[in-house]
Structure formats: C-alpha cells, structure tokens
Amino acid sequence: MQDKQAEVTRLMECLDMSKDRFSCLEWNKAYFSIDPEEYFSSVVSELNEVLDVIAAGCTSEWLYQRSLQESFSGRIISLLRLITETEIRTDEFYKQSIPTNLNVLQFCWKAVRSLDAEATTTQMRALTYALGIPLRVEVVDKSSTDRGVLVKRLDFFHESDLEKGPLRLTRSYLSSSTAPIPLKQGSYDADLLSSDGTPMLTLLCRRGHCDILYRK
C-alpha cells in the first residue's frame, strides 16, 4: 500500500459499505462500551489514519511498533470480527456453511466473536469478500502419503470480479509436486494480484494454526 493512496480509498469505500450493513443489524449493546455504530465509526477512523500513514510511505519499524500497542491492535481485531460477522449475517450464501444446530447469530457468537475460535474458510471468505481482497488458502491435510503431504488450495475472489466461473476455485495437490495454476485476473487493482493473476495474499493453514506465505 505504500505510495498507493488509491488503495486506501478503495479499502475505505469497502469499510463504508460494511458500516451501512452493520447499521441495519440489531446488536447487543452490552457487547460494546459505547453505542455500536459510534464504536464502529471510531475504530474505522483510527484505522484510516494508519492507512494514510502507510500510503505516505511509513517505515516497517513504525508499523511494527504501532501494532505492538495492545489497545490499537485489539480494537482493529475487534473491527475485523465485526466486519466478518456483518458479512455473514447479511448474505444468504453463508447459511449453507453453518451447522444445522446453529442459527446465523449463534454461529457468529461461537465462531466469529469468540477469541478462542479457529478461523475456517467461512470466516476467511467473509472477511476477504467484505474488504475486496483476493485470498489464496493452502490447507494442509492431516493425512500424508509416501509422496508428500496432501494440500488443498482454495482461491477466493469476489463475485463481481469474475466474469464467469466459481467463486471459490479448489484444487488438491501433493506438496512434493506442486504447480501454480494461473487464475483469470478480474477488476482488482494490480497490486492485489501477482503477475500471473493469483492472489498476493496467501495463507498456509494447518489444524489450529495459520501462517502467511511470502513469495520468493
């Protein structure tokens, strides 16, 4: 995002849309220290200030030190959870991913707001869709073969950024013989996709743990 004010503008537009949808939902005020909409707006403003500094060319050390401030990082994480919950509660698509013994609100309480909940592809899809950021997830299967560890690749693109095709492209492969599959580039800013059209953001997910994968 450095020197990319346009990306800050795009991201803030996504947050504005999330705020509108957030405002249409009923929230338990006991969960917030102040009015829910006021809380959402205040954290968005705080995030916007940091994004502007990043776009202006801050150092990685400044960003690292800022992230160590517990009050700041905690509020940002809570905002991301609220954005995720808002997406899930306002889009019928996610109902198919929710266990039959839970309704949407119960699922969000248990699997989104809870600090000890593990993020699954449902929450990952919701957050990346709400922010308009394409995501690649490499899910490591707990089983393995003599050829290597089995990995399932999931690619998330927003519906409006694909002319045709599924919203989630899935491919399984063995880690000992991987090969990238170029994906058709949509209308995302070029900085969010690599030169072959695949998401720049990649997560490696094992049971109970996720890492960020960086390209060489």
Report d(CA 159, CA 154) in Å as an integer: 15
Of the two residues 171 and 76, the one the predictor is more confident about is: 76
pLDDT tens-digit series, residues 21-60: 999 999 987 778 789 999 999 999 999 999 888 888 888 8
Residue 87 pLDDT:
95
Domain boundaries, the chain: 1-131, 135-212
Q: How many CB atoms lie within 10 A of CB 158?
A: 19
Tell me: pLDDT of 146 over 50: yes
What global pTM score does this model have?
Answer: 0.81
Q: Where are the alpha helices (DSSP H) in 56-192?
A: 60-67, 70-89, 104-108, 121-131
Question: Which residue in 108, 136, 141 sits closest to 192, CA to CA?
Answer: 136
Higher pLDDT, residue 191 or 96: 96
C-alpha 32, offset from chain centre: 22
Confidence of residue 180 (pLDDT cuts 50, 70, 90): very low
* CATH class of the domain whose range is 1-131: mainly alpha
**Mode of pairing for the β-strands spanning 135-145 and 148-156:** antiparallel
Beta strand segments in the chain, E: 135-145, 148-156, 168-174, 201-206, 209-213
